[in-house]
Every structure is written in C-alpha cells, then in structure tokens.
Chains A and B, each alone.
Chain A
Amino acid sequence: MRYEMPTTAKAAAGLLAKEKGRAFVLAGGTDLLVKMKAGVVEPDLIVDIKAIKGMKDIKKSAGGFVIGAAVPCVALSENAALTKAWPGVVEAANLIGSKQVQGRCTMSGNLCNASPAADSVPALIAAGAKVSIISAKGSRKVAVEDVTTGVGRTSLKKGEFVTAIELPAKKPKSGDAYLRFIPRTEMDIAVVSCAVNVSLDAKGMITKARVVLGAVAITALLVKDAASAIVGTKLDDAAKAKLAAACSAACKPIDDKRGTVEFRTEVAGVLARRAAEIAYARAGGKQ
C-alpha cells in the first residue's frame, strides 16, 4: 500500500486518476482505518488530503460557509459564526463518536463513507448544503442529497474527491435542528435520526421547510411531504401530527439488533416533531 500526502488538490487528483488499483482518500481516517483493520478494505493507494492548502479552513463569505474537506468536526463547534448560523449541522457533527473521534473525523468523510446512519448528512441536506468535487478533469458542485446512492456507495466517479462542503448563508428568521435516537447517551450509531430546517415570515408562519430522515432507508431521505405538512402553518398540533405521519410513511427501514421496523417508523415521527419544535424556536417562532 502506498501512502501519499500531496499539498495541492491538483496533485491529489492526479494521484487518484493515475492509480490502477484501489485508491482511497484519507481525511480523518475514523472509518477508513477501522475498515482496514477489519480487512474490509485493502487500499493500494491512500491519498491523505490533510496537508492540502486550505483543506482545513472554514471560510465565511456573503454566500455562506465553505468548510474544507479536512476540517475536523471539533473545529466546527469552535467556530462561533458557524454555530450561530447552523446549530443543527454543528450539533449533528458533534454527535459523531467521542471527543477523540471528533478531533479527527470530518463531515466530508461522514458523507463519502455513505453509511445510512451518518449523523451529519441529514443535517447538511436539511440545510441545503452543496459539495465541491474535483478531479483531474475539472470540478463540479452537487447537492449533498445527490452524493450518497446506497450503503457505502456514492455518485463520485473514479478519480473524483470532495474538496469542501458549502453551507448557504443563513436566512433571517430561519433555524435548523438535528436529533437522533440511540439506546446509550454517547458513542453509538443512530437508530433513527431527523433534521429539520425552517424559514418563517414576520408572523411566524413557516414559509419553507426541509425535513430529512436518517437511518431509515439505504440513504438519508429528504421527505417533501413532511415539509409540505408544516409549510403555511405556525407548527400547531395538527401540523405536527401531519409531519409525524408523513415521516413515518416515508420510512423504509430494516429490522436489526438496534431497532425493529415498527420502532424506527414510529420514532421517526416523534423525532421529526421534536426537531421541528427546536428548529421553529431557533427561527424565532413562538408556540
């Protein structure tokens, strides 16, 4: 196995393009190294992106935030502007593992690892985040929901890698939130999770919403019916009941030792209601 630590994105893309064997990008390594130890993956080439200039930066612009692909999750919560604008995204990223895992793991790695239970992914989708992707042939941008295509599968082509995640500027009177259910209090993988992002008008009426479920299908689910259930309401009880029903209806979960189909389906609705309440309050809405 070859290990390379290029200092430019171009050099990294070149290495990935040239490799004939199995090439993997290394960010925090908290999935990749564990899989290597288990013998699940045997890379021929590892391209560590942590030394690439700018890859560890969080940049704030008029358009929002650009989070480099090697930014460890702890750095997100240390960024006051980001935490203020996107508390749901930051809280989701800081549920990953424990402090030492957060010290290394990245949201880009969480996304590209393509686990259905990845914590930051529903929150990023709810926020309307995009990823910048580069290869030796050029670069492109796609919505986060278009990256994961199945368990462990992404739409990235050979030689492509993510250079940054872009969060839009926070709209006035908007708020996001993320909740997950785990049987323990820490260090566990989501059995069900839900992210909600809402925008309100001056009267507290929801004008836009994005509702995303995690761990109840092969990828995170952007549930349009759940969003329509609360748009045009002040998140009254009837709207919340419709939201919960739409979320439960969208679930296509598996039965496993972590939770049954019935449990996941029911809890998806409960979490959606609670996450919506938090997002609504963060947007300045009063119930």
Chain B
Amino acid sequence: MHSISLALNGKPVHGQVEGRTLLVEFIRESRGLTGTHVGCDTSQCGACVVSVNGKAVKSCTVFAVACDGAEITTIEGLAKGVDLHPMQVAFKEHHGLQCGFCTPGMIMASIDIVKRHGKSVDEETIRRELSGNICRCTGYHNIVKAVQAGAANM
C-alpha cells in the first residue's frame, strides 16, 4: 500500500492506495465522488476526464499513486456553491446532454479546450479536440454549441 496526499476540489485529502488503484477508483470508491464516470475499459470514451494539475486527464488511465501531491478537480469541484460553472450552464441551456453519462467528462475536457484555445475556439477545433469523448445520445451537435457558448462566458 502507498500513502498519498492530494488536493481534491481544493480540499486536502489523504488515502491509502494499492499500486494498481486507478485514479478514478480512488475518486469514486474511496472519496465517494461519483460524478466522474467510467464508460469503458479501453480508455476510449472520456467519461472519466478530470483535471490533474490543470490538465484534462482520463482518470481511468492513471494510477492514483502517480497523482501523489497533485491538484485534482472533478465535475463536483466546478460550481461555486449554487452557481454553476459557465460551461455547466452552457451545457444545460444548449441541451448539450440527454442521458448525461458523458457530460462530466465532456465538461472537464471542454474547459481544458477553452484554456488552451481561448474564448473564440472554432467548431472544427472543438470537434477534433473532443474526439476522445464519446456520446451515444446527442449526436454532438448541441455539445459543440454548448462548448462555444460556455467558452464565450468563461
């Protein structure tokens, strides 16, 4: 077992993990934050994306122990009290979801896209950048609209 300490949504957390424990298992099972989803076992779907030290990472493809000392933000860490993050608001307003399973990963990935490409990121870039986030419901059209609207308000 390894001891790890990290900042999860701004709060210091400590835990004991096995070498092979995945970050997503630590987040969901040890910390009970089930907003981060697991949609596949092949690292393809992107439902598990969280922010690790400011970068969007598939938390199913990283060991928790490798994140010792990291700052991690999950979908639960975005809202300030009752005020949703602009990207969350945009997904809600533009119907960027149906069942919502992919949404936490989509939103975490989208925020990362805006950080790197700026507020006026174009549709083509958004589509290319979201190729690792799979949605089986929406057909992506409204997701792209939501990301553009969210970007403008970030």
Does A2 lie within 8 Å of B19, measured CB to CB?
A: yes
B132→A34 contact, CB < 8 A: no
List B residues 16-39 near A (Cβ within 8 Å). 18-20, 22
Give bound CA distance, A101 to B56, whole Å.
10
User: Do B19 and A101 touch across chains, with their CB atoms under 8 A apart?
Assistant: no
B19–A186 contact, CB under 8 A? no
Say whether chain A's binding surface is mostly helix, strand, loop, or mixed.
loop
Query: Are the C-beta atoms of B61 and A104 separated by less than 8 Å?
Result: yes
Which B residue's beta carbon lies closest to that of A48?
B66
Tell me whether A37 is interfacial, beta carbon within 8 Å.
yes
A42 and chain B: residue at smallest CB distance: B20
Cα distance A79–B97 when bound, in Å? 36
Contact of A38 with B41 in the complex, beta carbons under 8 Å:
yes
**Residues of A contacting B43 with CB < 8 Å?**
30, 33-34, 97, 101
- Is A100's CB under 8 angstroms from B57's CB? yes
Q: Are A46 and B19 neighbours in the complex by a CB distance under 8 Å?
A: yes
Nearest CB on A from B58, distance (A): 5
Q: Does A81 contact B (CB under 8 A)?
A: no
Contact between chains at B61 and A99 (CB < 8 Å): no
B11 to chain A, nearest CB (A): 24
The reply to whether the CB of A29 lies closer than 8 angstroms to some CB of chain B is: yes
Q: How far is the CA of A63 from the CA of B68 in the complex (A)?
A: 37
A2 to B19, CA, bound (A): 6
B112 to chain A, nearest CB (A): 8
CB of B135 within 8 A of chain A? no
Contact at A1–B62, with CB atoms within 8 Å?
A: no
Q: Which residues of B contact A30 (CB under 8 A)?
A: 43, 61
One digit per residue, 1 when the CB lies within 8 angstroms of any chain A CB and 0 when it does not, for chain B 118-154 equals 0000000000111111000000000000000000000
Q: Does A142 contact B (CB under 8 A)?
A: no
The answer on a CB contact under 8 Å between A103 and B61 is: no
* A98-B132 in contact (CB<8A): yes
| Bound CA span A187–B131, Å | 7
Q: Is A238 an interface residue (CB 8 A)?
A: no
The verdict on B44 contacting chain A, using a C-beta distance below 8 Å, is yes
In the complex where A100-B58, A187-B131 touch, is A34 in contact with B18 (Cβ < 8 A)? no
Nearest residue, chain A, Cβ from B65:
A3
Give Cα distance in the complex from A266 to B97, angstroms.
42
A167-197 near B? 1/0 per residue, CB < 8 Å: 0000000000000000001110000000000
Chain B interface category by residue count = 20 to 34
The CA of A185 and the CA of B2, in the complex, are separated in Å by: 41
Q: Does A36 contact B (CB under 8 A)?
A: yes
A273 within 8 A of B: no
Find out whether the CB atom of A33 lies under 8 angstroms from the CB atom of B55.
no
* Bound: A100/B51 CA distance, A: 11
Contact A3 B129 (CB under 8 A): no
The answer for the CA separation of A97 and B128 in the assembled complex, in Å, is 11
Contact A29 B131 (CB under 8 A): no
Name, among B46, B55, B132, B133, the residue most crowded by chain A CB atoms within 10 Å (CB to CB).
B132
Knowing A34-B61, A187-B132, say if A1 contacts B20 (CB, 8 Å): yes
Q: Is the CB of B55 within 8 A of A29?
A: no
**Distance A48 CA – B68 CA, assembled complex (angstroms):** 13
* Cβ-closest chain B residue relative to A32: B61
Residues in chain B near residue A46, CB distance under 8 A: 19, 63
Instruction: State how many angstroms separate the Cβ of B130 from the closest Cβ of chain A.
Output: 8
CA distance A36 to B130 in the complex (A): 25
Contacts of B58 in A (CB 8 A): 100-101, 104
Contact A186 B128 (CB under 8 A): yes
Which residues on B are within 8 Å of A, measured CB to CB? 2, 18-20, 22, 41-44, 46, 49, 55-58, 60-63, 65-66, 109, 128-133
Name A's B-contacting residues (CB within 8 A).
1-3, 5, 29-30, 33-34, 36-38, 46, 48, 50, 97-101, 103-104, 185-187
The 10 A-B residue pairs with the shortest CB-CB distance in the complex, in nearest-first order = A98-B132, A3-B19, A186-B131, A98-B131, A1-B19, A100-B132, A37-B41, A1-B20, A33-B61, A100-B58
For the complex with contacts A3-B2, A185-B131, 12 further pairs of A-B residues with Cβ separation under 8 Å are: A3-B19, A3-B20, A5-B66, A29-B62, A30-B43, A38-B42, A97-B43, A98-B131, A100-B46, A100-B132, A104-B57, A104-B62
